[in-house]
Chains A and B, each alone.
Chain A
């Protein structure tokens, strides 16, 4: 219990630091949103319009940094991240709320599938090291070495264009309205298939390699030999003794990758023009949409923190040795 409280305290502090940094960094950047809007409209804004924009963005009042900081926190608790320039005048919170589920579904599920498949394959390969199955390792290595954007483009070129099995871009059929109808869900799954496949292929190899190597290391531990000597069924030795210990390092890696689901999918969503949060971030950067960037960064930071916290707790649950020291 003490361990849990200490970890929660640590993560609250980290979250505070991250949110505070998120407040200060954009304020240290040169220029302001009005300036970027002026740039966006290439000087076709009248002086009156510029002034009214300044009022709209609250740039006419000169408040102190400290007051800004306090109202920033107040707005955060109300879920108010400001207004996006790119999708003007949609609030940032709405933009994120619309795009986040797409990313979570696509990348979340394919990351989990990649982890589970890769880890299971790694267990098998590590357990039967020295057999023909070792021949699969170079293949896994090959796929983990391919740059993701290239893999994505090749997948589109082959399965989207040359043999049009799958749609090459988008999250759903343009003729449908997002809803919980079968038509829409079917179309969403159909559009997600190719990007999901490329994510699984590019991530699975890393899990295979790390799990296989840990299996080989753990298999030579004395307690595995003891388990064999006890005459336990092979499955029990393989999963209960070898894999159970070998998976521990992978768990931390998996938690980190869960944290990067939200942020690390920029490339996937760019390549496949997928309406997720990575695509939104890409657009925000392209149009210097600071409120949107700030909002997306905040979500990414928080999700990394939450994933890390989850990993800590899962780790403590899986490895009794970490429970004591905290």
Chain B
């Protein structure tokens, strides 16, 4: 899906932003021995109340692993090797570290606080139960006994909310189209009015018309119910349109974290710049589609230093030895909320000023001397 031009949402000022989900130094391995693949390395990410946080990157960059790890749904042989995931309710302040909760606590927390919409709309519903049964069992698992009727009413309400006739409650998943199934999954995720909804490529399996409808529905429901969203996709153009903030992932790390407008207009990381040059803008001057030469890193054999340096047009000697950490940009004074993981932004290591492509200044700000 390609967008017209990004709808710019005002970025809430730091003072009114309350974090609901804080992921800190999360590391995930696939495999148990020395040959384990390091799928995530010290990833930190914060989701604020009411925010839409986009998580973008190529296949294998760790986007979905991050979502599964943060909710402790990682299938074996995935192992969380470190970090914490703090949930803090913006309603009553309850919460805690998801990675250290007991199974019972975790089960009570799931769906009520954080719900997930998975990418496979086709396979996310149990084929042998009606969708009504599947909507209701999620609700009753979190409510006192004997609330069956209330749960059923709620299930009808939910279907209505996503625009599916109520009598579809007794349909089996195979009797619904792909788009309807994904709507059912969204309705299911919103059943308990969670504060955080993680959407793992919710539109990938759908055609573009349906993608548009689903995305619009998610956004209007979000405005109505006020939940926060982590939206995972490889479709950067989609994120530019709907996300408040975008985190770009590469090879198991977050390489840039900034508002959607900033990512679009003023990318600071060479990889982000490369991504933006990989799809055509509909408006504005024509520009050459360059793509990014090379292929994503083999997580079994990560390059030394910066993961991106073999494909980076701006790489210099230090990139092969020093692994950059997510930190402030060279323009920290004007954009303190942004962060980037690139040695070009480290005054101590960079050989010179930031290259022009990565140093675009917002309009009205004088270029850095």
User: Which of these binds chain A: B106-114, B228-236, B269-277, B332-340?
Assistant: B106-114
B126→A220 contact, CB < 8 A: no
A223→B110 contact, CB < 8 A: no
- CB B187 to nearest CB in A, in angstroms, measures 13
Chain B, 262-315, CB within 8 A of any chain A CB? none
A230 within 8 A of B: yes
Distance between Cα atoms of A120 and B107 in the complex (Å) = 24
A321→B110 contact, CB < 8 A: no
A130 within 8 A of B: yes
Interface string of A65-89 (1 = CB under 8 A from B): 0000000000000000000000000
Knowing A229-B116, A230-B141, the reply to whether A320 touches B110 (Cβ < 8 A) is no
Residue in A closest to B71 when the chains form the complex, CB atoms: A229
A231→B112 contact, CB < 8 A: yes
User: Which of these binds chain A: B117-125, B155-163, B237-245?
Assistant: B117-125
B73 within 8 A of A: yes
A233→B107 contact, CB < 8 A: yes
Distance between Cα atoms of A61 and B53 in the complex (Å) = 93
B137→A222 contact, CB < 8 A: no
A320→B128 contact, CB < 8 A: yes
- CB A221 to nearest CB in B, in angstroms, measures 6
Chain B residues whose CB sits within 8 angstroms of the CB of A319 once the complex forms: 127-128
Distance between Cα atoms of A221 and B128 in the complex (Å) = 13
Interface range on chain B (Cβ under 8 Å from partner): 20 to 34
B10 within 8 A of A: no
Can you list 25 A-B pairs, Cβ within 8 angstroms, ordered by A? A222-B120, A222-B123, A223-B123, A223-B124, A223-B125, A226-B116, A226-B118, A227-B126, A229-B116, A230-B141, A231-B107, A231-B109, A231-B110, A231-B141, A232-B138, A232-B141, A234-B103, A245-B127, A318-B128, A319-B127, A320-B128, A320-B172, A320-B174, A321-B127, A321-B128
Residue in A closest to B127 when the chains form the complex, CB atoms: A321
Distance between Cα atoms of A320 and B109 in the complex (Å) = 32
B110→A230 contact, CB < 8 A: yes
B212 within 8 A of A: no
Interface string of B94-110 (1 = CB under 8 A from A): 00000000010011111
Residue in B closest to A227 when the chains form the complex, CB atoms: B126
Distance between Cα atoms of A229 and B142 in the complex (Å) = 12
- CB B142 to nearest CB in A, in angstroms, measures 6
From A232, A233, A234, A320, B127 is in contact (CB under 8 Å) with A320
- CB A228 to nearest CB in B, in angstroms, measures 6
A225 within 8 A of B: yes
A229→B111 contact, CB < 8 A: yes
B75 within 8 A of A: yes
Interface range on chain A (Cβ under 8 Å from partner): 20 to 34
Distance between Cα atoms of A85 and B115 in the complex (Å) = 73
Distance between Cα atoms of A226 and B129 in the complex (Å) = 14
From B75, B103, B111, B129, A230 is in contact (CB under 8 Å) with B111
Interface string of A110-139 (1 = CB under 8 A from B): 000000000000000000001000000000
5 smallest CB-CB distances across A and B, nearest first, come from: A231-B110, A222-B123, A230-B138, A223-B126, A320-B172
B120→A233 contact, CB < 8 A: no
B76 within 8 A of A: yes
A6 within 8 A of B: no
Chain A residues whose CB sits within 8 angstroms of the CB of B109 once the complex forms: 231
Chain B residues whose CB sits within 8 angstroms of the CB of A231 once the complex forms: 106-112, 138, 141-142
Distance between Cα atoms of A222 and B107 in the complex (Å) = 18
Residue in A closest to B74 when the chains form the complex, CB atoms: A225
Chain A, 200-258, CB within 8 A of any chain B CB? 220-223, 225-234, 236, 240-241, 244-245
Chain B residues whose CB sits within 8 angstroms of the CB of A229 once the complex forms: 71, 73, 110-111, 115-116
Chain B residues whose CB sits within 8 angstroms of the CB of A220 once the complex forms: 75
Chain B residues whose CB sits within 8 angstroms of the CB of A222 once the complex forms: 118, 120, 123-124
Residue in B closest to A229 when the chains form the complex, CB atoms: B116
Chain A residues whose CB sits within 8 angstroms of the CB of B188 once the complex forms: 226, 230
Indicate the member of A230, A232, A319 with the most B CB atoms within 10 Å.
A230
A232→B124 contact, CB < 8 A: no
Residue in A closest to B116 when the chains form the complex, CB atoms: A229
Chain B, 54-106, CB within 8 A of any chain A CB? 71, 73, 75-76, 103, 106
Chain B residues whose CB sits within 8 angstroms of the CB of A130 once the complex forms: 76
Distance between Cα atoms of A228 and B174 in the complex (Å) = 21
Distance between Cα atoms of A321 and B176 in the complex (Å) = 12
Distance between Cα atoms of A87 and B185 in the complex (Å) = 67
Distance between Cα atoms of A130 and B127 in the complex (Å) = 27
Residue in B closest to A221 when the chains form the complex, CB atoms: B123
- CB B304 to nearest CB in A, in angstroms, measures 33
- CB B100 to nearest CB in A, in angstroms, measures 17
Distance between Cα atoms of A245 and B142 in the complex (Å) = 24
Distance between Cα atoms of A33 and B127 in the complex (Å) = 57
Chain A residues whose CB sits within 8 angstroms of the CB of B137 once the complex forms: 230, 232, 236, 240
- CB B141 to nearest CB in A, in angstroms, measures 5
Chain A residues whose CB sits within 8 angstroms of the CB of B120 once the complex forms: 222
Chain B residues whose CB sits within 8 angstroms of the CB of A227 once the complex forms: 126
Chain A residues whose CB sits within 8 angstroms of the CB of B73 once the complex forms: 225, 228-229
Indicate the member of B75, B106, B120, B127 with the most A CB atoms within 10 Å.
B127
B128→A244 contact, CB < 8 A: yes
Distance between Cα atoms of A321 and B120 in the complex (Å) = 19
Interface string of B184-224 (1 = CB under 8 A from A): 01001000000000000000000000000000000000000
Chain B residues whose CB sits within 8 angstroms of the CB of A234 once the complex forms: 103, 107
- CB A30 to nearest CB in B, in angstroms, measures 53
Indicate the member of B109, B116, B123, B128 with the most A CB atoms within 10 Å.
B128
Distance between Cα atoms of A228 and B124 in the complex (Å) = 11
Residue in B closest to A248 when the chains form the complex, CB atoms: B128
Extra contacts besides A130-B76, A236-B137 (9): CB < 8 Å: A226-B118, A226-B185, A231-B107, A232-B107, A233-B107, A240-B129, A240-B137, A319-B128, A320-B128
